[in-house]
Structure 1
Amino acid sequence: MGGSWGFIIAFALILAAWTGWNTLVKAKGLNFDPYPFIFLNLVLSTVAALQAPVIMMSQNRSSARDRKAAEHDYVLNLRAELEIMLLHDKLDAVREVELVRLVKQQGEMLKLLRAQLRELKAETEALVDEVKPAVRLGRRGARPAGAGRKRG
């Protein structure tokens, strides 16, 4: 209750009642703490002296709790960082395997393309060899063999 609104309101009411009583009943002689309110100052000083260590202990507990929370957060962040590093390593390994697979596929495709290129070159040379005699004959008016057929 030392830092709640209930305490603050109750403390303010007690102070108002204390000073009000000692001021209003001064003429009748019923006041127990005349105007400079020395006894009230003593009571307030005692309350402050008792509250100071309580506040300090509360702050120490709070800082200890904050230290534990910070240490927990540090450990949690460290674990998360290690997990992320592990995931990066796994991704790098997967990329490396995929890259090796792609390079192999590219090599196979290049072999196929080279084979097709050799076949095309051979076909082209065969056609050229087939057309050369016909072209020589064509100068004399003869048609090359298969010249009138469409290829499909």
Structure 2
Amino acid sequence: MKKKLNDDVSSAENEFLNKLHKIVEETIKEEDLVLNNLLHPAKEQLTNGQKISDRVARFGGSWKFIIFFVILLALWIVYNVTAISSRAFDPYPFILMNLILSCIAALQAPIIMMSQNRKEEKDRMRSENDYLINLKAEMGIRSLHQKMDLLLGEQIKKLYDLQAVEIELLRDLKNKSKSIQD
């Protein structure tokens, strides 16, 4: 009886370990898919126009540009106000300067918007990566729950089996004590 009980326990433990190994293998496969997407994102292929728009947006939104442009406008105004009227190429009210400023603003705005759209696309990719990381964490938690459920189920099964063995032993003892008393 003890040999049968030991064989039953060892086969149950082997079955239990196989279930645990299966859960771990499935979790590793799922996590490998997520990690592959995180570690090897699609390479971004930039066109020449996108590279230029990034450079223009980077320079147009910098203090260097603002300081350079303020100095240039100040020189423009000072020269045209102080120059002799025949040498001033844009006398007051500076119509040529207003035209140039309008053209620069008209060209710079869409270029900056193109760059911002690309940055928005990068942010979208970053949020997708965050989603994948959260998904990986959720899969890990799910795997832990499966392992815990399996462990608890196995413990309960072992307790019931042990209880059945103890009840059987108690019955045997009862029968032996009855036979001794008779």
TM-score in terms of structure 2 length: 0.55
Amino acid at match of 2:76: W
Instruction: Find the partner of 1:3 among 44, 51, 61.
Output: 61
Shift of 1:75: 2.4
Matches within 5 A, 1:53-68: 53-68=110-125
Q: Separation in 2 of the partners of 1:115 and 1:56?
A: 87
Structure 2 runs not aligned, ≥5 long: 1-58, 175-182
Instruction: Find the partner of 1:46 among 103, 115, 119.
Output: 103
Q: Separation in 2 of the partners of 1:106 and 1:24?
A: 108
Matches within 5 A, 1:91-102: 91-102=148-159
Higher fraction of helix: 2
Q: Provide runs of 4+ in structure 1 moved above 3 Å.
A: 102-116
* RMSD between aligned residues: 2.6
Shift of 1:77: 1.8
Shift of 1:50: 1.1
Percentage identity across aligned positions? 48
Larger Rg: 1
TM-score in terms of structure 1 length: 0.64
Q: Separation in 2 of the partners of 1:42 and 1:52?
A: 16
Count of residue pairs brought into register by the alignment? 118
After superposition, the C-alpha distances for 1:7-41 in whole angstroms (9 at most, x for unaligned) are 1100010011111111122xx22221111110000
Instruction: Find the partner of 2:135 among 60, 64, 78.
Output: 78
